[in-house]
Amino acid sequence: MTAATQDVPALAARAALNLPYTHVDDIFIDGAWTPARGTGRNPVIDPATGEVWGSVPDGTPEDLDAAVGSARRAFDDGEWPRLTPSERAAYLLRIAEEVEKRAEELSLTNTRENGSPVSESAGAAANAAGIFRYFASLAGYLEREDVRAFPKGGGESVVRREPIGVCALIAPWNFPINLVVIKLAPALLAGCTVVIKPASPTPLSLRVIIDAVAAAGVPAGVVNLVTGSGRLGDALVKHPAVDKVAFTGSTPVGRKIAAACGELLRPVTLELGGKSSAIVLPDADLDAMSEVLIRSSMRNTGQTCYISTRILAPASRYEEVVDMVTRTIAAGKQGDPLDPDTVFGPCATESQYKTVLEYVESGLAEGARATTGGRAAALGGGLEGGYFVEPTVFADVTADMRISREEIFGPVLCILKYDDAGGSVEEAVALANNTEFGLGGLVFGSDPEASLAVADRMDTGSVGINFFASNHAAPFGGRHDSGLGTEYGIEGLNAYLSYKSIHRRAKP
């Protein structure tokens, strides 16, 4: 059975999937699947049904020590850091091929773990492979000789780019594959070794990536995987044999990780939360905006960090914008995420489901107007136990409301009004920048130069003009409460490097 077969109730459809990973007892250490040392288990729940369909070991301190020790030995004594960048790049290209061979398996496992519609998860393998191939293309950058003359003459410095060491890669549950790969690929090219700790709700799809790494022949100990609760992630961050931490997740957890790494003087990259805004300029083409709205503002059922969930509409066209957004969101099908026609799936966890409903109730209590949605979704066909919230659009939102200020991470959009008298966008820019976050953003407008000028004024790490997409070659990172450091691009590779300057007399 494939993801396209949806002529039976949801529970029966899932039973027929026959995925290779369900209840597993091992973790990946020193190049092999190894039985976990403890007896604790963490369940894996299908958020579309609320049913437990898998489980993984709840890792112990001994498991963690074994994984980090394996990575430490591979870095200190193994061949990986001593290969040329081009040799490591060849491994990355083989990993990309192996990932693509596992595309359907990866998609279906991902969807059952976190409820991402298959229309979203079906692209995970291709995107992951693209990331591996992009970073493989940077081998020449690492191999280029870098000699810099002293400004006053008389000497020169040879600048070496060396791998930073053992890296702890900690993943979120919303995009459990690509938000690990964007750390794994540059770390491997740089010559680092890694220990990966997936989010508790989504531990199984990463096993597919590990199988691809093993099939590509990556030496033992270079990549290790442990599973467990947040307690294990905390211990990994603080482990004395770890040299760098890379984390994607919530801002509160990110603060704790930053504090721990600061105490240890340990480099850290943090990609955290967002509350991004889409500024609709008075001349915006609303038909064109409608075509990219869901991808840009409610991707993955709103469980995406950079999407623009605050839409800032000019007063002169406010109701027109509200009508367009309402129609677009209401037309998106909500249902079984294994159905390729589904646009909106469930919230990924029961906890997130309750959080989103609390925000919806908060918006209604504070006077926002729900133009569509505004409650839990009641679905049948085996999905009665799923964590579904109706995709919701709130109009008449003011800047002081909780739904306007705080990251909801669910299928909720807020539409705020700004004064555009005389064509001014001053209030729109002020509203967009009046947030503790700074991750994404959008400008919708018909004049390219005017749109670019507004984008330049937005205090955020990335801005899209009339669409939003991640570019593997361009840095992606947050400002303020949205994180520290960058991923993607050469800048993302540099995060896994340590620099050494060797000073010598200039050659005559």
Regarding whether 435 and 365 lie in a shared domain, the answer is: yes
Candidate list 167, 192, 261, 305, residue with the active-site label: 305
Regarding whether 86 and 32 lie in a shared domain, the answer is: yes
CB 482 within 8 A of CB 438: yes
Please check whether residue 135 lies inside any domain of the structure: yes
Can you give the pLDDT at residue 3?
A: 37
Quick check: helix, strand or coil at residue 127? helix
Task: Render pLDDT for 165-220 as a digit per residue (tens, 0 to 9).
Answer: 999 999 999 999 999 999 999 999 999 999 999 999 999 999 999 999 999 999 99
Regarding whether 207 and 354 lie in a shared domain, the answer is: no
Return the DSSP state at 315: G
Can you give the pLDDT at residue 41?
A: 94
- State the residue for tokens 């940077």: 138
- Return the bridge partners of 225, or none: 28, 196
Regarding whether 63 and 109 lie in a shared domain, the answer is: yes
Candidate list 113, 271, 407, 487, residue with the active-site label: 271
What is the CATH number for 103? 3.40.605.10
Got the DSSP string for 36-89?
Answer: -SS--EEEEEETTTTEEEEEEE---HHHHHHHHHHHHHHHHTSSGGGS-HHHHH
Can you give the pLDDT at residue 21?
A: 67
Regarding whether 287 and 226 lie in a shared domain, the answer is: no
Which tokens is 447 given? 């004049």
Please check whether residue 394 lies inside any domain of the structure: yes
Regarding whether 293 and 266 lie in a shared domain, the answer is: no
- Opening angle at CA 419, ends 413 and 421, nearest 5: 145
Pick from 116, 117, 118, 112: nearest CA to 53: 112
Got the DSSP string for 431-455?
Answer: HHH-SS--S--EEE-S-HHHHHHHH
Which tokens is 277 given? 């805004």
Residues in the chain: 508
Quick check: helix, strand or coil at residue 233? helix
Please check whether residue 1 lies inside any domain of the structure: no
User: What is the Cα–Cα distance from 173 to 372, expressed in whole angstroms?
Assistant: 27
Regarding whether 283 and 265 lie in a shared domain, the answer is: no
b/e per residue 486-508 (b: at least 16 CB within 10 A): bbbbeebbbbbbeeeeeeeeeee
Regarding whether 177 and 221 lie in a shared domain, the answer is: yes
- State which residues form the domain around 487: 25-272+483-498
Please check whether residue 332 lies inside any domain of the structure: yes
Please check whether residue 385 lies inside any domain of the structure: yes
Can you give the pLDDT at residue 94?
A: 98
Which tokens is 211 given? 């199988």
Regarding whether 229 and 93 lie in a shared domain, the answer is: yes
Regarding whether 324 and 188 lie in a shared domain, the answer is: no
Please check whether residue 19 lies inside any domain of the structure: no
Which residues of 272-391 form beta strands (DSSP E)? 277-280, 310-314, 369-372
- Tell me which residues of the chain have a pLDDT lower than 70: 1-9, 20-21, 508
Can you give the pLDDT at residue 496?
A: 98
Please check whether residue 13 lies inside any domain of the structure: no
Regarding whether 268 and 126 lie in a shared domain, the answer is: yes
Can you give the pLDDT at residue 1?
A: 28
User: What is the Cα–Cα distance from 349 to 50, expressed in whole angstroms?
Assistant: 9
User: What is the Cα–Cα distance from 311 to 296, expressed in whole angstroms?
Assistant: 11
Return the DSSP state at 458: S
User: What is the Cα–Cα distance from 151 to 156, expressed in whole angstroms?
Assistant: 9
What is the CATH number for 308? 3.40.309.10
CB 481 within 8 A of CB 273: yes
Q: Is 143 a catalytic residue?
A: no
Regarding whether 293 and 254 lie in a shared domain, the answer is: no
87: Cα within 13 Å, side-chain hemisphere:
10
Please check whether residue 119 lies inside any domain of the structure: yes
Q: How many domains does the chain have?
A: 2
Residue 156 is which amino acid? E
Pick from 168, 172, 302: nearest CA to 237: 168
Q: Is 271 a catalytic residue?
A: yes
Can you give the pLDDT at residue 248?
A: 96
